[in-house]
Structure 1
Amino acid sequence: MNIADFCIKRKVLTLVLTFVMLIGGYVSFQDMSRLEDPEFTIKQALVITPYPGASAGEVQEEVTDRLETALQQMAQLKEIESKSERGLSTITVHIKDQYKQDDLKQVWDELRNKVSDAQSQLPPGAAGSIVQDDFGDVYGVYFVLYGDDYSYAELKEVADMLRKELLLVDDVAKIDIHGNISEAIYIEPKWAVMAKIGLSTDQIIARLSQQNLVRNSGRIQVNSEYIAIDPTGEISSVADFETLTFSSNGRQFRLRDIAHIRRGYVDPPSEMVRYNGHRGVAIGISTVTGGNVVHMGEAIDERLDELRADIPLGMELGTISHQASSVTTAISGFTESLILALVIVIAVLMLFMGLRSGLLIGFILVLTIMGSFIVLEPLGVALERISLGALIIALGMLVDNAIVVVDGILVGMKRGRSAYQSAIDTVKQSATPLLGATAIAIFAFAAIGTTDNNAGEFCRSLFTVICVSLSLSWVTAITVTPLLAVMFFGKKKEAKEGDKEEAEPFSNGFYKLYKGLLKLCIRFKFVTAGLAFAAFVVALIGFGSVKQSFFPPSTRPQYMVDFWLPQGTHINETSKQVTEAEKWLMEQEGVTNVSSVIGQGALRFMLSYAPEMPNTSYAQIFVDVEDSDYITDLIERGDAHFLEKFPDAHAFGVRFELGPGGKGKIQAQFSGSDPNVLRDLAQQASAVFEAHPNSKAIYTDWRERVKLLRPQLADERAILLGIDKKEIASAIKASFEGQQVGIYREGDLLLPIVIQAEADDRSRASQLEQVHIWSPVANQRIPLSQVISGMEIVHDDEIMMRLDRKQVITAFCDPIDGTANSLLMELKEDVEAIPLPDGYTLSWQGEYKDSREAQESLAQGIPMFFLLMILTTVALFNSVRQPLVIWLCVPLSLIGVAAGLLIFDEPFSFMAILGFLSLSGMLIKNAIVMLDELNAQLEKGSDRYDAIINSAASRLLPVAMAASTTALGMLPLFFDSFFASMAVTIVFGLLVATVLTTVLVPVFYAILYRVRRPR
């Protein structure tokens, strides 16, 4: 039975199912999770290994290299990137793209096993390695608790209370607090007194290190009970430290007699956080996997409102990022664009096809969208930038099948058939070709659905939405559409026999003009084809002037300022200069809030943001603005101001990115063995960058060399006094930076006990030679000057980088204006002209590498799906020549693409590539519709020449309508920075593709079948 006949005869069932689809679609739409941008898996983990006191070179050779050797045995490994710095090894493990999120847990378990096995090979003094596999967690709600009238301890206490309460909110995974400056118990020995009484620092350390340790005293049986024994004697207050007793030469001394004891904040702190100039602590909240970030954000806001009474007066919460509000705004904007596109499409349909036809097809469009939501929701597709954009892109294509069916029914009725018979005949003739055309349109998008790269994962919902919605559009076109057409058009006047105008619906003036043009083109078919291919050559030449890019910057009303001071700068100096930068930013028009993290990057509060590793010379400022339109001017003026105000700093504004990628868009990476040669090569590349007027943010990842004060140990004297390097290092650390010697327990707090010289003694480098070291031979404290032969100041590498176990250094650069690729093309030749010694190589990283990997990953799937498209066309026509007619037109769509991108000055981005691939599917789909009608007329006995002309006229309206609805429906995307290049590609390519379909398909058919104009 014909499916249309079944649906028309089962009218009530069809209408009930239609109603259920509408209601179910609305419910599914409400239940779908919301995101600002689609998720992609961060396939990275960190292996962090402290090695206190070791130089960057020692860390690299003794820790990093041994761990890398163990890790490279993993088959899942894509690459290993390592950073060796003074006292710390950080290895970033990148996993191959084909491993999905569900696979990573097993991969991380294997990673931990490899790291654990390598621990025995690490040198003495190296701490245990820590594996962080939650590096990609996103803290969608991120705020700062601040209050100048409160201490860090008080802020932390309230932050802990908030964490405890907010962890109970639905969909909250974890809450991290950072930026707090911890307290410590400081013991500042009176060296002169200790020397006089003959008491060594080791005696103090030995006593304090054992204090407050939890000891197991066991249990004792008392009758039938088994009672635990828990002796007292722990220190319960700072005052208890003062009464600790020490013995020397038969006398006892209290700690307060030989040292100053105080409770204070760790100085220097490891990081600081400020909000609008107020010091505070930052709180980040992440969502459980599969959770709804909007619902979680709203629930957190409600709970915070309830907790306001528990937050002391004068403490405030400032927001750095609130994904729930960002998502709501983004979804609202895209929903408005979707509704606008829907209205445009329906209006176009009503204008060109009449009120009834337009409303009918418009209803089918809404039904298809609602039905798509029913399928998309259980598939895990969220409402986000890509999926909603995909719906807008699909709108025009979703009506194509319905247009063909409705137009066929109307044409049949004009030729004298009933609405019922026309519906059955149209579906019978069109169902298979439309299915093939729909499959081809889906195949055109399919490559992105099989791409494992982050860019592919980011855009995957584009394919899912297109696949589901287009498939459903075919189903509704051959089921619901015929029924509604019979209901809507059943009473329309049918053509009477002998009514020529009604029986020949394509005989009016417009169609006569089109037929005349088509006959002229077929008469001069080789000239027409030659002109088309000449235009294609011109387009190819013009395409060379089209800009290239990866993903566009975000329109988020917030940007970053990266603030770098010379490597080795004290964090307090970094904080001081950043304070001045904050003041200037807060005075600027359009700026609403300024928050900063000093000493490291922030938590990952959006997926495309990559936090900077800890560095005392680094700070990151987040600037909130009223509207994203302010950002370009603020960055330009800010960069100029920072350059003038902070001559020693590298401070520059950075926009957030849409999609995978990051800062340092242009990266010239040199590899080799000699650090000095690598530095020289990187400096030469940086000089090339500096010379270009459109470059900014120029630096290398090794940063500057730092000063190193190196006391020269006099070995013989040290041996005579019983002093070794370890004791010297311990004494110096205790005298200046401070040495942790124990733990003080206070409730759930564990405060470090730190021995440190008094403020006057540790504030001057000149005091270094006066550091006293206990000599067990002399039984007294000996000044450092007696065991060293002198002091040496050297410059040393504090940071050393490796990639896949090869030493590398990278020079970074960003464009001031325009795309990174355009700037790279201007810099590439000069950088590649730098002479490289034997064994040294240059490679381009950054956006160039990301874009290339994404395109290569995409390209792997293209041949298979294009083959499927070709085979589908061959199967539809059981011919080679007719598919060849279609495929000759496909590359010619580049004419419109090149023209559109050049006119609108849009780059050929990754999204534009996807648009170009999808364009081929749209073109082929329309061509199939036309050739199918041509074959139908040939089967009825028409002359081949007449069949070409009449079939082209018959399908002119459906093809033109399909193109116009798709093009006009995408107009809202012209104003979205992410989809603009894709929209331009499709719209302009489709305009040319329409001409190709309505003119060149008949012309190529005439050429391949050697059709001549009848005399």
Structure 2
Amino acid sequence: MALSITRASIERPVAVWLTIIFCVLGGYWGLNTVGRLEDPSFTLKTALIFVPYPGATAMEVEEEVADVVENALQQMKQLDRVESKSMPGMAQITVEIEMTYGPDEIPQVWDEMRRRISDIEGDLPAGAQPPIINDDFGDVYGMFYAVTTEGLSPSEQRDLATTLQLGLVTVDGVAKAEVQGLSEEVITLSIPSARLEKLGLPPTQILGILADENQVFTNGEITEGPARIGLSVPPGYVSPEGIEELRLGTAGNVGQIAVSDIATVTREAAEQPSQIIRQNGKAAFTLGVSALTDRNVVAVGQEVSARLERLKSELPESVEIIPIYEQHVVVDEAVSSFLVSLGQSVAIVVGALMLTMGWRAGLVVGATLGLTVFSTLFFMSVFGIQMERISLGALIIAMGMLVDNAIVITEGMVIGMARGKSAEDAAAETESSTSIPLLGATVIGIMAFSGIGLSPDATGEFLFSLFAVIAISLLSSWVLAVTVTPYLGKLLLKAPKNTSDDPYKGPFYGIYRGVLWTALRARIPVVLTIIGITVWSVMAFAQVKQAFFPASNTPIFYVEFQMPQGTDINTTDEEMQRLERILMDEDAVTGVTALVGRGASRFMLTYNPEQADASYGQLIVRVADAATIATIASRLNQDLPAEFPHALIRVEEIVFGPPSGADVAVRFSGPDPVILRQFADDAMRIYEEAGTITNPRTNWRQREILVEPIVDEARMRLAGATRGAIADTIRYGTSGLRVGDLREDDVLIPIHLRLPESERDGVDRLRDLSVWSDGAGSYVPMANLVERFDPRLVEALIHRRDRERTITALGGARSDLTADEAFRSVRTEIESIPLPDGYAMEWGGEFESAGDAQASLGKQLPLGFLVMLTISILMFNKIRQPLILWLVVPMSLTGMVLGLLFTGLPFTFTALLGFLSLSGMLMKNAIVLIEEIDFLRAQGVPDYKAVIDGSVSRLRPVVLAAGTTIFGMIPLLPDAFFASMAVTIMGGLAFASVLTLVAVPVLYALLFRIRPPKRDAQSDGLAATA
């Protein structure tokens, strides 16, 4: 079959030219139509459930709400993990679904979750509000902007946000437009307590009137002739002025008074806003835009940018729309940069081939390589595989194997024509002996990645494009190598003027013959030496830095800011403004986005937004050059703690891949919060003593002060009052009692009844208030009902993991260390902390994230390797040849270890992918070499001579493939994401070439008991030096 393909290709040039034109035009079409993303689209299998429980302590929230919800969720078979955070007045439950569920199944999983939560609403305590479910937690708003609002009222801000949202959601390809950080308002009725008491007016009457006057009523209809006319009763008030005109008092009593007679009605900014946002020091809100998953984000982003430019003409002059992060720009620049690097790699490969093989042979191989890339781009577009970081990396990973197929065919034609054969015969003979081994080796190379790409979990979803692109490109390279390459070879290759039966003459081959002859004569020492080097490399691997994913080259970093738990949001904001000014004074900084009270919308896949917390702030800082981030981060981490001694501050760089939450983290689980805090304190002490961990902290934070009224139950009952009335009075005297809402368009503005500011001056003043008694129909002094107000420390945050209370002690790695090095510096001592029965410890942070990823790979890779082993056995139909193949694979570790140690780069997830590629290239070379030796032996060539001649015939293809691939990796060295992978391939391939050309023939001779004949020793030695 293979012979007919070659003959057909050479004899039917029209078909070949059609193939070439198809590849070029198809590649051009694919390049312009393939979708583009920053990272592969990936389903975050996470949902958040919020259950408000106003007035409850964190402990009450945990026991009465979180436990009920967790119990319902635990019955879901799809559940992987459930975590909860109980806070005063709020339960936040995080639901993680098993990674084996695909994106098509997740909506059904969320539907089941919603049904289960709906079923337990009746089991929640009185006072708990209905659960709020957010299963869109993973939506990415990759086009993310700050919109400044200096001088705009809250209503003007809302109108502006509505204009922008409506203008953007109609853009083709836009899925959502989200706004955060709009100014919040309240309507305040300030009434002195003495006035309410004098009038005998209960707060409930004000609440009832406001509620009734603001209802939307069901109205009637009448028939007038042929028309049906509706009737409408409008709300009693639509503005603060309308509230002032409402009448209070008993029905039929002429002594009714207007609200304005006893209250000051003001419309003002919320005293405790949920979030505050600034851009470069100016008040702002954020606008996030997400694209549909099947669209080219670059094209969508360009349309969004154009629409924003048109909308600017409709906006007030003071409004600025400032990009915080534009995914389409990042993707466009990244893809363009990568395509330049790919072009440079191809040019380097072709140039090296031309120098070593001659311009004609180099052009044949280079043209085949270019056509392979073009055809890959075509099929990527056809199959909907988007151009993103992983799929582009796959092309680089496959580069060495792509070029090898064409090199083998071209080299065979060059050698055959040097022996006097025609181009057709040389091509046919080469393909007949190498096409099946090359196909088998290609399939084995693909299967090296099958465990990753076909994994049913999140790893497979994220890395499927890696497997798909490698499979497409390698199969395309084999097809083109056996069809187009022979025809191009016929057109371009010229037979040498002087033919020879032995084209492997000259010092290049002679030196190799000598080395090989010596190695074959010292088989045992050579094998032991290689084994020793391999053992050393395994031991030396422990000295290689370990990292899950490298730092990103995006010119953005974060400053995480955390005040003591319970800090007022306005106090947090004041400190954040100081921090902003420090950052904006940095010469390298070009933009600062400040977020107080919660994190931003998820503007990139790896960003994990912080949920509501008044003591939390974050700066998103953009710099002119990403190379300056490490220096700035190191200096800020050192200087800022002294500037803000009461806050926890850490500077974080963006990393490729999923966030781990912290570099180093250890979890302690058990029933008693006091004991758990002791374990966490022990861990933080170890962190501090080691000196390798920065910003040690716990996720339970500090305890908060809670002031609790001690109620005299008997006197309260005697007075006809209730605890609810006492609570209403306390709210009226402090933050405000919500008595209604003002409906304005689609917004409900809260109406609060509260004391004037002059009467709100501390807890002691609460004893001077009076409580309305429904039983007595009058006010009762608070002092008669409450013995005292007791302050006490309580847990403000209670974290649970899989229904167990769990505290986490976490921290960052010192700037000169990797997360793995910092982890190893404290691991032994922390693991020696004695734990009583009922308590457990486990590691989190990057150690857990990397371990989970490696465990996932560990589950799937064996299947891929089993397929590879099966194919290798079926190819040879024997055992010893595959045994040689698999013996040399682990030996390639040496080159990788040397390369990483020499450059100081860490072994990352991408380096692991590079090592898999390296294994594929090594096995491919070894397969063709072993097949060549077997072929020569089958032709009657003496065994020893077959080993020598077969190895020599593979010398130039192996060296060329390795050399061109190594040089082709050079453009990737400056790339933060691909650097460690490039070094792995470069170092590993250099050593793997030695393994192929020395270890494989030596092991072959050893396993097949082939010894050099004594009578040929002298001639062999002379040949070696010829």
**Shorter-chain TM band:** over 0.9
Q: Deviations over 1:240-263 (max 9, x none)?
A: 211111125762111111111111
Residue-by-residue CA offset, 1:632-668 (whole Å, 9 max, x unaligned)? 1211222233211111000110111211133312111
Aligned residue number for residue 357 of structure 2? 353
Aligned residues: CA RMSD: 1.5
Q: Deviations over 1:548-570 (max 9, x none)?
A: 22111211100001100000000
1:871-910 alignment, distance < 5 Å = 871-910=870-909
Residue 364 (structure 1) aligns with: 368
- What is residue 418 of structure 1 aligned with on the other side? 422
Pairing 1:525-924 to 2, within 5 Å after superposition: 525-817=523-815, 818-924=817-923
Higher mean displacement: 839-848 or 783-792: 783-792
Counterparts of 1:162 and 1:271, CA distance in 2: 20
User: How far is 1:452 from its partner?
Assistant: 4.2
- Report matched runs for 1:447-458 at 5 Å: 447-458=451-462
Q: How far apart, CA to CA, are the structure 2 residues paired with 1:232 and 1:889?
A: 85
Q: How far apart are the structure 1 equivalents of 2:13 and 2:31?
A: 27
TM-aligned CA deviation for residue 456 of structure 1:
4.6
Q: Report if aligned partners of 1:145, 1:155 keep a CA contact under 8 Å in 2.
A: no
Q: Verify the 8 A CA contact 2:563 2:572 in the aligned structure 1.
A: yes
Q: How does 1:922-961 map to 2 (within 5 A)?
A: 922-961=921-960
Greater mean alpha carbon deviation, residues 776-785 or residues 126-135: 776-785
Show the counterpart of 1:492: 495
Q: TM-score, normalised by structure 1?
A: 0.97
Amino acid at match of 2:9: C
Q: Distance in 2 between matches of 1:965 and 1:545?
A: 29
Structure 1 counterpart SS, 2:836: coil
CA distance in 2, matches of 1:301, 1:908: 39
- Say whether the 8 Å CA contact 1:893–1:993 is kept in structure 2: yes
Aligned-partner Cα distance in 1 for 2:857–2:123: 42
Contact 2:448 2:865 in 1 (8 A): yes
Q: Which runs of 5+ in 1 are unaligned?
A: none
Indicate conservation of the 8 Å contact 2:453/2:459, yes or no: no
Aligned-partner Cα distance in 1 for 2:528–2:637? 53
**Whole-Å Cα distance in 2 between the matches of residues 767 and 233 of structure 1?**
37
Instruction: Indicate yes or no: 2:467 matched with 1:467.
Output: no
Give the equivalent residue in structure 1 for 2:1022.
Answer: none
Q: Is the Cα–Cα contact under 8 Å of residues 399 and 962 in structure 1 kept in the other structure?
A: yes
- Which runs of 5 or more residues in structure 2 are unaligned? 1016-1026
Paired residue secondary structure (2:610): coil
1:455 deviates by: 4.5
Quote the offset at 1:424 in angstroms. Answer: 1.6
Inter-CA distance 932–777: structure 2 relative to 1 (3 Å threshold): closer
Residue of structure 2 equivalent to 1:60: 62
**Structure 1 position 17, deviation (Å):** 2.3
For 1:303, which of 297, 304, 307 is the aligned residue? 307
Q: Read off the aligned partner of 2:98 and give its amino acid letter.
A: K
Instruction: State how far apart, in whole Å, the 1-side matches of 2:711 and 2:254 are.
Output: 34
Equivalent position amino acid for 2:640 in 1: F
Residues 234-253 of structure 1 mapped to structure 2, 5 A cutoff:
234-248=236-250, 251-253=255-257
> In the TM superposition, what is the alpha-carbon distance from 1:494 to its structure 2 partner?
6.3
1:343 aligns with 2:342: no
8 Å Cα contact 2:47/2:136 also seen in 1: yes
Distance 1:686 1:457 in 2: 37
Aligned equivalents of 2:862, 2:397: Cα separation in 1: 23
- The residue correspondences of 1:62-101 to structure 2 (distance < 5 A) are 62-101=64-103
Three-state SS of the structure 2 residue aligned to 1:410 is helix
Equivalents in 1 of 2:789, 2:741: separation in Å? 34
CA contact (8 A) 2:197 2:770 kept: no
Whole-angstrom distance in 2 between the partners of 1:828 and 1:493: 66
Match for residue 396 of structure 2 among 388, 392, 399: 392
Distance in 1 separating the partners of 2:665 and 2:642: 26
Of 551-560 and 859-868, the range deviating more from structure 2 = 859-868
2:8 matched to which residue of 1?
6
1:169 pairs with 161, 167, 171, which one? 171
Is the CA contact 2:722–2:773 (under 8 Å) kept in the aligned structure 1? Answer: no
d(CA) in 2 for partners of 1:513 and 1:641? 61
* One-letter amino acid of the structure 1 residue matched with residue 75 of structure 2: Q
The answer to whether the 8 A contact 2:452-2:467 is kept is yes
Give the partner amino acid of 1:830: E
Partner residue, 1:212: 214
Query: Following TM superposition, by how much is the alpha carbon of 1:781 offset from its aligned partner in structure 2, in angstroms?
Result: 2.4
Aligned AA (1:757): L
Letter of the 1:145 counterpart:
V
| 1:514-529 aligned within 5 A | 514-529=512-527
Shift of 1:384: 1.5
Q: Deviations over 1:714-770 (max 9, x none)?
A: 111111111111111112112211122222223333222221221122243332222
Give the drift of 1:613: 1.0
**Which residue identity does 1:548 align to in structure 2?**
Q
User: In 2, Cα distance between the equivalents of 1:715 and 1:406?
Assistant: 97
Range 684-693 or range 761-770, more displaced: 761-770
What displacement does 1:194 show?
A: 2.4
Which residue of the partner structure matches residue 268 of structure 1? 272
Letter in 2 for 1:418: S
Write the deviation string for residues 483-517 of structure 1: whole angstroms up to 9, x where unpaired: 1111112x53465xxx5xx2210121221121111
Amino-acid identity (%): 40
Residue 29 (1) aligns with residue 28 (2): no
For 2:186, the equivalent position in structure 1 comes to 184
Residues 899-940 of structure 1: CA distance to partner in whole angstroms, max 9, x if unpaired?
A: 112111122222222222222211110011111211222222
Inter-partner Cα distance in structure 2 for 1:51 and 1:689: 36
In structure 1, what is the equivalent of residue 324 of structure 2? 320
How far residue 823 of structure 1 moved from its aligned partner, in angstroms, is 0.8
Say if 1:557 and 1:626, in contact at 8 Å, map to a contact too: yes
State how far apart, in whole Å, the 2-side matches of 1:151 and 1:651 are: 33
Separation in 1, partners of 2:115, 2:618: 35
In structure 2, what is the Cα distance between the partners aligned to 1:41 and 1:781?
58
Query: How far off its partner does 1:410 sit?
Result: 1.1
For 2:145 and 2:935, how far apart are their aligned partners in 1?
66
Partner Cα distance (2:781, 2:984) in 1: 76
Alignment-derived partner of residue 1011 in structure 1:
1010
Shift of 1:44: 0.3
Counterpart of 2:967 in structure 1: which amino acid? L
Q: Does the CA-based 8 Å contact 1:639-1:652 persist in structure 2?
A: yes
1:492 & 1:763 partners in 2: Cα distance? 101
Matched letter for residue 81 of structure 1: E
Counterpart-to-counterpart distance in 1, 2:754 and 2:142: 40
Q: Distance in 2 between the 1:410 and 1:640 partners?
A: 63
Is residue 331 of structure 1 aligned with residue 329 of structure 2? Answer: no
Cα deviations by residue, 1:84-130 (Å, 9 ceiling, x for unpaired): 11111111110101111111111111111111111111111111011
Residues 163-172 or 241-250, more deviating: 241-250
1:474-513 to structure 2, matched below 5 A, reads 474-489=478-493, 492-493=495-496, 502-513=500-511
Q: Cα distance 1:237–1:891, how it changes in 2: closer, same or farther (>3 A)? A: closer
Q: Which residue of 1 aligns with 2:1024?
A: none
Aligned to 2:199: 197
Give how far 1:291 is off. Answer: 2.0
The letter of the residue matching 1:41 is T
